[in-house]
Structure 1
């Protein structure tokens, strides 16, 4: 037998079996190993957090959005803005009071276009389109609209469109496309190509007021061709005032030889005489309610057709009267409906006492036409009374459907 050292606990003779650790000894061994692994993992996690925090400073742009609050915009995460919007609904305004420089920075992070012209930071043109490599990096593509402004015509769709288009997370197609009423035979690929390039941080929309009333199957087409979840935006106004404004608008178009060829391809059911009264009243003294001037203002009739395909949660109606008197609240309601970060606030608008409308003052000045304020002065008061009486029951039913008193209701 080989002699062992004094401190040898086991027999040194290899012919004799070694004693295995007891159950208590094994438990001790495993406990020490687990503790070692836990400590190692904790140290590694701490090192990762420290390094990641340092790295974040290089990849995030810190923007001040008002006293005591900040937001971070991830230049590489295409979903960050929409996630933030849904998880910080208690914040009054994500963007707050930005200066023009901050606004351009935010918009440039979202956009597929360079913002070389501060006077028009939301214009989309081939000249300002980012290079292919940069567009690919940002995930830029042309896609079908996330929402559509469908009307009603001459109720302020133009002002609503221009105001919405200044939101850093929204992009407009740039003009009325008239796909579902006049160009449907050209196909969805043609329609898609009329949209601007957008990133996943942006919502894209188009505006064609004709869709609200014509053709009859536009709701079905949008449901099928766009998406069952596409959102619909309406702005509704006093139907009497709308009819007079529409008459003036259509009369101006027909007097312009340059525009007559362009508008001739868009179907309509207008009858226009030399003045408004002769246009809407028949010789018998009855109202010509088949005339599109009048029919468009029967809002409840057209909304019910849209409700056949889209639930109320996907249709947002703006009262043009409130849009005119409390524009900030109306724009903020619309932001919540579209699920975009809060942006609009009182500092973005000012009231123009001459035209009696709100105008945009940030990031550029945009002021809607004052023609709507002068429309009723051009019509015969007797005819206006006939129209108010005609629309009264339809307005009452519309008020019940929307669950609010319309600003133009007289009782």
Structure 2
């Protein structure tokens, strides 16, 4: 049941990525705000042709019921990297607000690898070590065609969004700081969304067992991300990590210049 004063609305804000940078945590934390309602699942409307062909009415039906003064947010991290998505989003709503969460690119690439590896292992399949995929066996250089690497080249993907949207429509969230001090990132997100500040430091409690912050639903109950989130990283060959750090350094600088903001990478 839903209130007769509510209805389903197309999202006024999208979390467009980045995959494995903390987008699920971001969505959960934003959901603490009374003026925000979030779609329960990743709809993949703009990046899956079959879904997009269903039209806006179908997309609206995937959204939660909201009051007129609430903001509807949908999250599909693959939106950031899939060709054609920025134009499709622009055609729906040229004034939409976009949330982009980024993370140190090497750690993000390793997390990307781990997620796919775990899925394959659960299906009884094997997967090559990260080092084998990240380094070209013939040249010994970074394998630029490996998807986990390509997704971390943030400036190239963002440039495609900036063909359609002004930078002031895109709020960049520091995924590394979201892990350490989530209330700081939430404060800035509320500012960007034009909302009163409701999400406070006391809404978070550090779960020492999980190793990250969970939200407090009331004085006693915690809500944490699923067990698959925050999975420990395997030991990666130090030479490979060094090569990756060197590879991303100039690319990171291009991203910093593009957004007018620096991160501790």
TM-score (norm 2): 0.91
Q: Deviation of residue 178 (structure 1)?
A: 0.8
CA contact (8 A) 2:120 2:127 kept: no
Q: CA deviation at 1:341?
A: 2.1
> How far off is 1:323 after superposition?
1.4
Alignment partners' CA distance in 2, 1:388 and 1:371: 24
Question: Equivalences for 1:8-407 in 2 at 5 Å?
Answer: 129-130=1-2, 134-135=3-4, 138=5, 140-182=6-48, 183-214=51-82, 216-225=83-92, 227-257=93-123, 273-284=127-138, 285-363=140-218, 364-368=221-225, 372=230, 374-375=232-233, 377-407=234-264
What is the rounded CA distance, in whole Å, between the counterparts of 1:206 and 1:350 in structure 2?
Answer: 25
SS at structure 1 position matched to 2:158: helix
- Counterpart-to-counterpart distance in 2, 1:201 and 1:308: 30
Paired residues of 2:32 and 2:199 also in contact (CA < 8 A): no
Q: Name the CA distance, whole Å, in 2 between partners of 1:289 and 1:180.
A: 26
Using a 3 Å threshold, how does the CA distance of structure 1 residues 236 and 331 change in structure 2: closer, same or farther?
Answer: same
Aligned residues: 259
The match for 1:79 is none
Instruction: Give the number of the structure whose alpha-carbon radius of gyration is greater.
Output: 1
SS in 2 for 1:386: helix
1:170·1:204 contact (CA, 8 Å) conserved in 2? yes
Q: Tell me how far apart the structure 2 counterparts of residues 172 and 251 of structure 1 sit (CA, whole Å).
A: 29
- How far residue 404 of structure 1 moved from its aligned partner, in angstroms, is 3.0
> 1 or 2 for the larger relative contact order (CA 8 Å, sep ≥6)?
2
Name the structure where helix makes up a greater proportion of residues.
1
C-alpha displacement of 1:186: 2.0
In the other structure, the counterpart of 1:36 is none
Work out the CA distance in 1 between the residues paired with 2:200 and 2:163: 35
Quote the RMSD (CA, aligned, Å). Answer: 2.0
SS at match of 1:180: coil
Check the 8 A contact 1:178/1:208 in 2, yes or no. yes
